[in-house]
Structure 1
Amino acid sequence: NTGDILLIGKNKKSMQQAFREVKKMNGGIVIVEDEQIICSVQLPIGGVLSNKPVEDLIEEELVLKRELAARGFKHGDAIYTLLFLQATHLPYVRITQKGIFDVMKKQVLFPALMR
């Protein structure tokens, strides 16, 4: 909702690669593992919408869900998960520009950049 790019990961190099790919696509979702792009969903309209036929987009989302599940993601809808992770009007832990933020305690648990 903020237009920010959300990077989630452990490997800084892979996160940088995902960032570059998202910028190149003008928005979207990218999974990078071992410096390889595993899958991507291009969302060039405002970084959140696609201009592809819905049938093509459905196929891309199925690939995204399959690849996330293969990596341990157990929730149903990755796109809504990404949206809600940033929603500070909801309680509990959220991701903000400042870092991992506990909404109930109004405190940063982990800063955005940890060295």
Structure 2
Amino acid sequence: MSAAAVEELHSASCEAMVAGDVAGLDSILADEFTLTHMTGYVQSKAEWLDAIETGQMQYHRMETVEATLGTDVTVPEMTARTFTDATIWGSRATWRLTLRSWFERRGDEWVVARTVASTW
């Protein structure tokens, strides 16, 4: 997987989150995708997409300020530092998040397999 492809998937996921584009996210996330929140809570793809669709989680702006790629070519990985302006379960803030994502091949395409969020 090329660096450009990893960056493109990261950008597409951020854009879809801000747009509330659940179908777009669904198409670029693995079926077994999980999002580990900065609290440690592990959320399934279905639960996360439902939270976005119902407005429990609204992403207003995401700015990637730094992104680095992992060196393991068998399991592509990216670590991105972001400023994420979001309303999560009723609380709005701009979080300084580190989003570490792993990618996997699905047929001829690549998808996001898992993301772990922490603060920086």
- Using the size of structure 1 for normalisation, the TM-score is 0.23
Higher strand share: 2
Larger RCO (CA under 8 A, 6+ residues apart): 2
TM value normalised by structure 2 = 0.22
Structure with higher helix content: 1
